[in-house]
Amino acid sequence: MVLALLGWIDQPRKFRVDPAITAELDQIRLMPNGIGGAPPEIDFALGQPYENDSYNLSQGKRLYTWFGCSSCHGDGRGAAGPSFLDGWWLYGPEMVSIVASIRDGRPHGMPAFQNRMTIEQIWQLAGYVQTIGAYRAKVSAPSRNDAKHTRPSENRAPAAIIFDEGPVGVDPEQGPNP
Amino acid sequence: MGLFAVCLSGCNGTQSALDVHGASAIHLKHLMLLVIWVCALVWLTVMVVLAYALLRKRRVAAEVNAGADNRATVIVSAAVGATALIIAGLTVASFYTTRLIDGDGDAAMTIAVKGEQWWWRVTYMRDGTPDFETANEIHIPVGRTVLLQLESADVVHSFWVPSLAGKQDLVPGRTNTLALRAETPGVYRGQCAEFCGIQHSHMAMSVIADDAVSFERWLADQSAESLKPAEPEATAGQAVFLGKPCAACHRVRGTPSAGTTGPDLTHVGSRDTIGAGLMERTRGSLAAWIADPQTIKPGNNMPMVPLTSDELRAVSAYMESLK
Amino acid sequence: MADGAPRKDLRDTALDSAELDRHLTSIWHTRGGLWAAVSTVDHKIIGRRYIITAFVFLFMGGVLSLLMRLQLSQPEARFIGPDRYNQIFTMHGTNMMFLFAVPVMEAMAVYLVPLMVGTRNIAFPRLNAFSYWMFLAGGILLWVAFAIDTGPDVGWFAYVPLAGPQYGTGKRADIWAQMITFTEISALCVAVELVVTIFKQRAPGMSLDRIPLFVWSMLVTSFLVILAMPAIMIASSSLILDRLVGTHFFNPAEGGDVLLWQHLFWFFGHPEVYIIFLPAVGMASTIVATFTGRPVFGYLAMVMALISTGVLAFGLWVHHMFVAGLPRLGESFFTASSMAIAVPAGLQIFCWLATLWMGRPVFKTPLLFVVGFIITFVVGGMTGVMVASVPFDTQVHDTYFVVAHFHYVLIGGAVFPLLGAIYYWFPKITGRMMSETLGRWVFALIFAGFHLTFFPMHILGLAGMPRRVYTYQPELPWSGLNMMVSLSALVLASGFLLFAIDIFRSARNGPAAGSNPWGAATLEWATASPPRCYNFRRMPVVYSGEPLWTEDELQVASGLRVDRRELLVTAVVAATPQARESSVPHSIWPLWAAVATSIVLIWSIFTPWAVVWGSIPVAVALTGWFWPKGAPEEES
Amino acid sequence: MRERVVLDLSDVTSHASGSASPTWWGTLAFMLIEGTGFALAIVIYLYLMSLAPKWPIATPVPSLTAGTLMTIVLVASLAPNMLVTGWAKKQDLPKVRFGLVVMSLLGIVPLIIRVFEFPAVHVSWDRNAYGSIVWLMLGLHTPHILTDLIETLVLTCLMFTRHADNARRYGDVADNAMYWNFVVATWLPIYACIYWVPRL
């Protein structure tokens, strides 16, 4: 049992993903309204590494800083862009939706990142974004950064701790309906 | 030990603490040789005594007698005293060398070096403000003291160019300094000496000591913006560079690219190596690196960007053109 | 106690030897069967277990080092990837320091110290059982994690921020930190047992100046453990807190400090070296005395050297941080203190040389290892003086020079005497001799293999090769020496393999040893080989530091009860009898306590609430441990 | 080896008490371990303080009430504790029983006060390094109160059973009382550090 538990918390780290696989990761099918959809088969075949693997999640966290996500989304509580912590997922909390939002952009200001990031990076980032807002912390969620403390780190389920603050920072123009 | 000393004198290399060309490294080598010789001598003495103690012929009845014990007490006390004296002498020599190294006061220029996983961000300062940025290759004027301001962007690294000076850690949240002074022109290799994660092994850098004229020329070249690509292939490469994820992390001054996550590529074509001292910079190695960085340096932060072979050729031509 | 339970308060005074043996066996004996085996509190059984387990970890760590040498034998080799390599070298260091070197020294002491001071069991025997289970659990945790690719990959000193919350992703660093907790608990427990055994359970007459040197060295070592290990407990706990609940001990952006970790770690880490080395010094002294047929020259000087080394050990930690950018003045102080420790070390060497000089050396395998130790350790001491100098250190710190240095100190300075000690005490532990012929081969292979492997590393370091690199580029001039080192490592490994073969062969078929095969002087040789479960039929009394050399007969005391486990408590300084104290009987509760504690520690890698809920079973187990069950030993 | 009896121990006592007993030394050794831990925590506190431009970092100094009350209660508890030690030495079972009940109660009170100490420092452990070290110090000390309380409770129960009237048990009671002195003694420097050093 201990073996199973430990096996689950950390898979061998894969640094190089085969180009054929990354091409598959691009094949997401979205519902016509852009909310939700079917993730590519390959994600399941790999064991959903972008949601569960600590290495990918922490890479996602680095990408969050490197690609300036915080300039609109702050530490996850939103600013010009929506919050990830308040329980409102404008396009649903599924990986496909988040990947699509990052890759293709969304109305009211979310830019498309498909020419700035590789699809693998987008999946890593999406996994991290989903983790920030999770109400129960994943075992593989990242811990705090060596930086100024603004909110509890992802492995402590900040959404559950500071949910009382309610939806904050949503641009009024954006509204709850996309 | 003797063998050791012989090996030392024959020890030369591009990255050796004994093939010295920098002011402090020269002082350090003197100290090291002194200490090594003294220690070798002490070791040899102890070994001779040990060998004799073990193998000497003994009289038939060698009883434990008081006379022998008293003699031994005197000899052991003398040996301890000698040890203390030698130790004190070496301590003084060590302090003296520290003073010699710290003595180099006023620096001609300051360069900020930031250790990042797994490369070196180098910022040349002019009058206290950043002038331009480059990576992994630090040009310095020969015969002049240059002060390196060492900081870390992530974990602890250590800056070590053994031919020029001892190492100094780059500690997050702190700024350390290291004075470098090369006495002869040349290329001196160094690499990160504090374990810093998966690609610690491939975090090299080189310090290039130029004579005054070529250093000034280099400085002028580097602070200029990048050249407009002349050949059509390079022009196409620039378009790929700007249109693909490359530009999100890398900057080429003189173009809209403004990424600061990865190394500044404005004059990448003028560098000797790529990938933090990993490979000699050629068009082929540039293409190989861009095509599959995770095979060449697994775990580094450069993603594998899907490019067609034409795009790859064009981008590498563009990189090569950034002299 | 089927064969006629002894009547209450029966004394050994009137009994003849055979009858006394029967009575003592019936109360001290560990019965067969798994349940009895895991309930035992016999220091010899636990000590043997400890030694075997530690040697198993040694061999596993050795396999890791061969894997590293395979990868480094050629430039840019691709046998092992960087991620796995980082785990391997971290595992190698962690395993060797925390699961082999410290435990094996304490294990030898758990077995030998009660025999050498002439008592029947270690003080707090149940704590002893508990400490073994904790050690085992910590080792299993680490190796299981490694087996499933979750082994720590941050180096054995786990510098933050690399091991911290931001860069040490996954649970790898937590497993490292929690494994520390396991082994520290076990080491601290053993240290307490040893201190109390040595203070309070020495044979009557064994005043401070008659304590065998090995026992002295274990006393100093135990104090080092007691004073040094809390630092690493605090450090690893703060690391886990930083990672799990977001404290800021090591976060410079919120008032923490990266170098705080290094200070805390090395405040433990430097004494750690002496925790490993001092017992080896004691072993060397014991072997030198026996095989020269005279007491070690300068007993008082040797003891003083041990104590001053122990004290100085706490004043050196900054020499691991000479390139971290600390103020120069402070560094200079640490240069002086680091150099100063060469004086007591030198004193010990000179005393051994004088002993060898004045005695008549008999070249059996144990003495060969001690001679090899002196040759090698002096080199390690010399390179130690080199790295103690701040300017010298800036060139060799974190290079293969340092790798060579500490292997000279730890293998040359500790493992050589340890192997000598195994050859020396094996007859006592098993009742059989090891092979002298094979022993010489083992020594030759290990000695030659060691120097061929590690000496070139000095040169590699000076030639600029940093440690902890998983590969190096072909244009660097290191490949020749690296190939040589890798090949030599095979010679070294074959020596250890032969040693293992000798152990297995001798344990089965070795010639019978008799109680004192080497004609040694200390008390452990006054009893049968292997010793009976009660160690000594009657409590020995000593009148000199070498009781077996100065007296023809064993002087003993009588008057102890034989209807319960009784031993003698004596005064700390003069070792005059104070009480006939009882020693606790076997118990399964230490195992349950260890299981409960292991659950808390592993669980708390995942959630802080583990500490709250997991403490309940621990409290239950400890209560069960201490609650009297009506045994005669529990009454006064 | 032949044996020769040179010493008769029949009249030596069958239980060593006080500093003659191994348990006493074992308790002392564990106190040394834990004392080193506390000392290191204080060193960390002072080290972090020396690095910070302002101390406490971005928070008001801790409120004194709870901590001072804690100190008073702990110091006051030393008196009954000494009495218990004396009674245990005299092997006076009824008084020892009474004393242990009192000490159990006196072990619970500090735990209740401790609950109010955490908010009184006005900082959470994850706010900054100051908060972390203060919580660490309180967090190191609390389990000591708790373990000694549990030990006292177990001993109290034990002293009401048939195992009670025995020199060994009285020795345990005395060692437990000594440990409580240690718990109080370690609190004083921690109290000074947490509550008064920031006011300097």
Which residue range is the domain that position A81 belongs to?
Answer: 52-144+156-171
Given a contact cutoff of 8 angstroms between Cβ atoms, the answer to whether C433 and C426 are in contact is yes
Q: Clarify whether residues B275 and B243 are in a common domain.
A: yes
Distance from CA of B243 to the nearest CA of A (A): 6
CA of A148: which chain D residue's CA is closest? Answer: D128
Please check whether residue C257 touches D, CB under 8 A.
yes
- Whose tokens are 């040389």? That residue is C353
**CA-to-CA distance for B262 and B247, rounded, in angstroms?**
10
Q: Clarify whether residues B114 and B91 are in a common domain.
A: no
pLDDT of A90 strictly over 90: no
Please tell me whether residue D191 adopts helix, strand or coil conformation.
helix
Q: Clarify whether residues B115 and B90 are in a common domain.
A: no
Q: Do B52 and C357 touch (CB under 8 A)?
A: yes
CA atoms within 13 A on the CB side of C204: 22
Q: Do C234 and D150 touch (CB under 8 A)?
A: no
**B167-211 pLDDT, tens digit each:** 999 999 999 999 999 999 999 999 999 999 999 999 999 999 999
Given a contact cutoff of 8 angstroms between Cβ atoms, the answer to whether C214 and C299 are in contact is no
Q: Do C556 and D6 touch (CB under 8 A)?
A: yes
Phi and psi (nearest 5°) for C286? -60, -45
**C533-559 pLDDT, tens digit each:** 999 999 999 999 999 998 888 999 999
What are the structure tokens assigned to D101, written together? 């009940």
Please check whether residue A136 touches D, CB under 8 A.
no
Interface test with A, best of B295, B305, B312 (most A CBs within 10 A): B305
Predicted local confidence at residue C3, as pLDDT: 45
Q: Is residue B59 in a domain?
A: no
User: What are the per-10-residue average pLDDT scores of chain D (200 residues)?
Assistant: 88 87 94 96 96 92 95 96 94 94 94 94 93 96 95 94 87 94 96 94
Residues near D172 by beta carbon (within 8 Å), at least 6 away in sequence: D23, D155
Contacts of A58 in chain C (CB under 8 A): 166, 169
Q: Is residue A135 in a domain?
A: yes
Predicted local confidence at residue C1, as pLDDT: 39
* Residue whose C-alpha is closest to residue A138's, from A52, A62, A73: A52
**CA-to-CA distance for C133 and C141, rounded, in angstroms?**
12
Given a contact cutoff of 8 angstroms between Cβ atoms, the answer to whether D19 and C209 are in contact is no
**CA-to-CA distance for C334 and B213, rounded, in angstroms?**
44
Q: Which CATH number is associated with domain D22-199?
A: 1.20.120.80
In one-letter notation, the amino acid at residue C469 is V
DSSP C432: B
Domain positions in chain C are 17-634
Please report how the helices C125-147 and C43-72 are oriented relative to each other, as an axis angle in degrees rounded to 10: 20
Contacts of C166 in chain A (CB under 8 A): 58, 142-146
Distance from CA of C221 to the nearest CA of B (A): 23
Q: How many domains does chain B have?
A: 3
Q: Do C559 and D11 touch (CB under 8 A)?
A: yes
Contacts of A144 in chain C (CB under 8 A): 165-166, 242, 246, 248, 251
Please tell me whether residue D8 adopts helix, strand or coil conformation.
strand
What are the structure tokens assigned to B231, written together? 């050949």
Contacts of D37 in chain C (CB under 8 A): 230, 233-234
- Whose tokens are 């000698």? That residue is B82
Q: Do A62 and B299 touch (CB under 8 A)?
A: no
Q: Clarify whether residues B166 and B216 are in a common domain.
A: yes
Residues near B129 by beta carbon (within 8 Å), at least 6 away in sequence: none
In one-letter notation, the amino acid at residue C132 is Y
Q: Clarify whether residues B23 and B87 are in a common domain.
A: yes
Q: How many domains does chain A have?
A: 1
What are the structure tokens assigned to C130, written together? 């508990």
Distance from CA of D186 to the nearest CA of C (A): 15
- Whose tokens are 């941050």? That residue is C154
What is the per-residue burial (b if ≥16 Cβ within 10 Å, else e) of D84-95?
bbebbeebebee
What is the per-residue burial (b if ≥16 Cβ within 10 Å, else e) of B163-189?
bbbbbbbbbbbbebebbbbbeeebebb
Q: Which of B178, B198, B222 is the last residue in one of the domains?
A: B222
Q: Do C558 and D8 touch (CB under 8 A)?
A: yes
Considering only the beta carbons, identify the residue of C150, C244, C252 that sits closest to A10.
Answer: C150
Contacts of B118 in chain C (CB under 8 A): none
In one-letter notation, the amino acid at residue B101 is I
**CA-to-CA distance for A143 and A156, rounded, in angstroms?**
8
**CA-to-CA distance for C283 and C291, rounded, in angstroms?**
12
Predicted local confidence at residue C195, as pLDDT: 97
Q: In what order do the strands lie in the sheet with B119-126?
A: B129-135, B119-126, B109-116, B146-152, B176-180
**B208-264 pLDDT, tens digit each:** 999 999 999 999 999 999 988 989 999 999 999 999 999 999 999 999 998 999 999
| Mean model confidence pLDDT for chain A | 85
Predicted local confidence at residue B68, as pLDDT: 79
Which residue range is the domain that position B212 belongs to?
Answer: 109-222
- Whose tokens are 């680095």? That residue is A62
**CA-to-CA distance for A132 and A64, rounded, in angstroms?**
11
Phi and psi (nearest 5°) for C460? -60, -40
Domain positions in chain D are 22-199
**CA-to-CA distance for C464 and C397, rounded, in angstroms?**
10
Distance from CA of D128 to the nearest CA of A (A): 7
pLDDT of B311 strictly over 70: yes
Q: Clarify whether residues B183 and B242 are in a common domain.
A: no
pLDDT of B3 strictly over 50: no
Predicted local confidence at residue A9, as pLDDT: 54
In the predicted model, what is the mean pLDDT of residues A50-67? 93
Given a contact cutoff of 8 angstroms between Cβ atoms, the answer to whether C161 and B174 are in contact is no
Distance from CA of C73 to the nearest CA of D (A): 43
- Whose tokens are 């082929």? That residue is B284
**CA-to-CA distance for A100 and A113, rounded, in angstroms?**
10
Residue C3 burial class via C-beta count within 10 angstroms: exposed 0-12, middle 13-18, buried 19 and up: exposed
Low-confidence residues of chain C: pLDDT under 70 = 1-8, 636
Chains that touch C (3 or more CB pairs under 8 A): A, B, D
Predicted local confidence at residue A2, as pLDDT: 56
Predicted local confidence at residue D155, as pLDDT: 94
Predicted local confidence at residue C7, as pLDDT: 64
Given a contact cutoff of 8 angstroms between Cβ atoms, the answer to whether C569 and D22 are in contact is yes
Predicted local confidence at residue B12, as pLDDT: 43
Q: Is residue A46 in a domain?
A: no
pLDDT of B10 strictly over 80: no
* Residue whose C-alpha is closest to residue C136's, from C27, C49, C20: C49
Given a contact cutoff of 8 angstroms between Cβ atoms, the answer to whether C295 and C427 are in contact is no
Asked if the C17-634 domain carries CATH number 3.40.710.10, the reply is: no
pLDDT of A142 strictly over 70: yes
**CA-to-CA distance for B138 and B219, rounded, in angstroms?**
11
Q: Do C255 and D166 touch (CB under 8 A)?
A: no
Q: In what order do the strands lie in the sheet with D3-8?
A: C539-540, C554-558, D3-8
Domain containing residue A78: CATH number: 1.10.760.10
Distance from CA of C336 to the nearest CA of B (A): 6
Predicted local confidence at residue D163, as pLDDT: 85
CB count within 10 Å of CB C542 equals 26
Phi and psi (nearest 5°) for C399? -120, 180
- Interface contacts (B, C; CB < 8 Å): 242
Kindly list the distances between the CA atom of residue C262 and the CA atoms of B158, C134, C356, C384, in Å, as whole numbers in the listed order.
15, 26, 41, 20
DSSP D62: P
**C72-82 pLDDT, tens digit each:** 999 999 999 99
Which residues of chain A have a Cβ shorter than 8 Å from any chain C Cβ? Answer: 2-3, 6-7, 9-13, 15, 54-55, 57-58, 139-140, 142-149, 152-153, 155-156
**CA-to-CA distance for C218 and C524, rounded, in angstroms?**
16
Q: Which helix (H) or strand (E) holds B157?
A: strand B157-159
Domain containing residue B168: CATH number: 2.60.40.420
Residues near B141 by beta carbon (within 8 Å), at least 6 away in sequence: B108, B109, B209, B210, B211, B212, B215
Residues near A103 by beta carbon (within 8 Å), at least 6 away in sequence: A112, A113, A114, A119, A122
Q: Are strands A37-38 and A29-30 parallel, antiparallel or unpaired?
A: antiparallel
* Residue whose C-alpha is closest to residue C283's, from C226, C352, C195: C352
Predicted local confidence at residue C23, as pLDDT: 93
